[in-house]
Structure 1
């Protein structure tokens, strides 16, 4: 206390930092939602989101203006709708991404064997890392581009891969060089639950799908739903809630066209009767434990699209 009394400048800086961080925390879900995309609290202080917003002309006091908050949400929804309309209304390498009338038709999944995944790629975060590590049947057949903390905002640009010479490269660069994949499985969304809105999330997801479609025009793309957390986690956490996950999964399901992009509800394989991740399948209430990944594997084997 004596230190702070003798150093009022330091005290002022600390108090100011706490204040703007608090304001940013409140505003990042409304007026600064668009500026919080890709924000990583482990790498940057929270007030960086506010600074980005101010540089874009969005002042913090607008949080008290209801019209500004509503306008921000409507803009997010408009951006998502515009992207979806654009990629569904234009033929991308011979395939639409969404918005097809066929999407309403019933899907017929078939059961396959592990060799189905010989030309498959899995993109994802820590959960997909676990699938690679603990599911030998898939790991021996498929390619995995997975990384802990990966998000929809960083999946194409993060240079966590290495080429044959050991040089770092991004997923986007790898997809340009790789042989054509027959199937691409995506599971992302867990790390984004605390940032942005459902609208900004699905808009970015649609962008990523469109780019993947450009780079891999003949692949069947599977959007795997965000897996739930346990009831204990969902009830005691403000960010990782199944209500929030359900909202984003609902939005993701509309990106499927049931022609060459399909939605897989992975929670059918791991949920209890109340729609929560089964407690016995996880050790941390979020991730599957090693022995639980076989449920995921078996679900994929029974939910495959086989083209004639």
Structure 2
């Protein structure tokens, strides 16, 4: 971390590390840690800052992909087969999407096309850059743990959707987290030069579960850096977070499956909103 921290903030950072290294579900100890430091509602000034950051993003003029807001433009809803050659990379938030899609495919095999997933609890761009080890967090492909860039190449994916950040910001801060994502995307692009890279914005937390470092203002600032990166490198920015925020910039309770724990994971309804956003922001 580049900022100076008090002893109390240091404890908060340690708590964040413990929480997100635990994966998708927090245990009782995680609940104690998350509520003992930085787990009260963010100050109103912080919420206002998040709203201001989001407004700045939406108002920034750009010709990026023919959208004045700098995002992939809304399109006519694509058929699920649009995702036949896609892979979705992410952490426990994306794991929820994978599980939701898997259940839907039991009665509708073509649901969400043939999209594949490379997701793992506690995954972040920071640990994705680390070497493979027996205890590393890299997800498996064909039963074998592998680097993300190697798995994507082995799949032959032509569309790569990636959402990472929640497990990075508490550890690395906003700037270094964005830098790590840039390095990871470069590795994926080098191994799969013909694939389109879709960078999804990190989604918010419910108001009550924000922490000292992992909070909605920082997530909004991180998303802005990702959008800027996409403009610079020619990637596609998919602003999923824009449909996952209430008027104060927080994750609505109806979209949150763990409001009394981490406050960041999705309900089925949120997954439906996410899928609709993906299919209505297609790039042909």
Q: Could you give the per-residue CA deviations for residues 3-24 of structure 1, whole angstroms, max 9, x where no partner exists? A: xxxxxxxxxxxxxxxxxx9769
Q: CA separation in 2, counterparts of 1:209 and 1:105?
A: 22
**SS class of match (1:256):** helix
Going from structure 1 to structure 2, the CA distance change for 1:28 and 1:289 (only over 3 Å counts) comes to closer
Going from structure 1 to structure 2, the CA distance change for 1:168 and 1:277 (only over 3 Å counts) comes to closer
Q: Give the structure 1 partner of residue 107 of structure 2.
A: none
Q: Give the structure 2 partner of residue 80 of structure 1.
A: none
Question: Does residue 232 of structure 1 match 2:227?
Answer: no
Q: Give the structure 1 partner of residue 198 of structure 2.
A: 222
Q: Could you give the per-residue CA deviations for residues 234-257 of structure 1, whole angstroms, max 9, x where no partner exists? A: 3xx323311111111111111113
Q: Give the structure 2 partner of residue 288 of structure 1.
A: 266
Q: Give the structure 1 partner of residue 241 of structure 2.
A: 267
Question: Does residue 160 of structure 1 match 2:133?
Answer: no
Alignment of 1:132-147 (within 5 A): 132-135=98-101, 136=104, 141-147=114-120
Q: Could you give the per-residue CA deviations for residues 75-133 of structure 1, whole angstroms, max 9, x where no partner exists? A: xxxxxxxxxxxxxxxxxxxxxxxxxx964852544221110000001000001000111
Q: Give the structure 1 partner of residue 167 of structure 2.
A: 191
Gaps of 5+ in 1: 1-20, 30-35, 45-100
The RMSD of aligned alpha carbons is: 3.2
Q: Give the structure 1 partner of residue 276 of structure 2.
A: 298
Q: CA separation in 2, counterparts of 1:171 and 1:292?
A: 26
**Pairs aligned (count):** 217
**SS class of match (2:118):** strand
Going from structure 1 to structure 2, the CA distance change for 1:140 and 1:133 (only over 3 Å counts) comes to farther
Q: State the TM-score, normalizing by the size of structure 2.
A: 0.67
Query: How far off its partner does 1:168 sit?
Result: 3.3
Q: CA separation in 2, counterparts of 1:178 and 1:223?
A: 18
Task: Please say if residues 80 and 112 of structure 2, whose CA atoms lie closer than 8 Å, have aligned partners that are also in contact.
Answer: no
Q: Give the structure 2 partner of residue 118 of structure 1.
A: 84
Query: How far off its partner does 1:261 sit?
Result: 1.0
Larger RCO: 1 or 2 (CA < 8 Å, sep 6+): 2
Gaps of 5+ in 2: 22-61, 105-109, 132-136
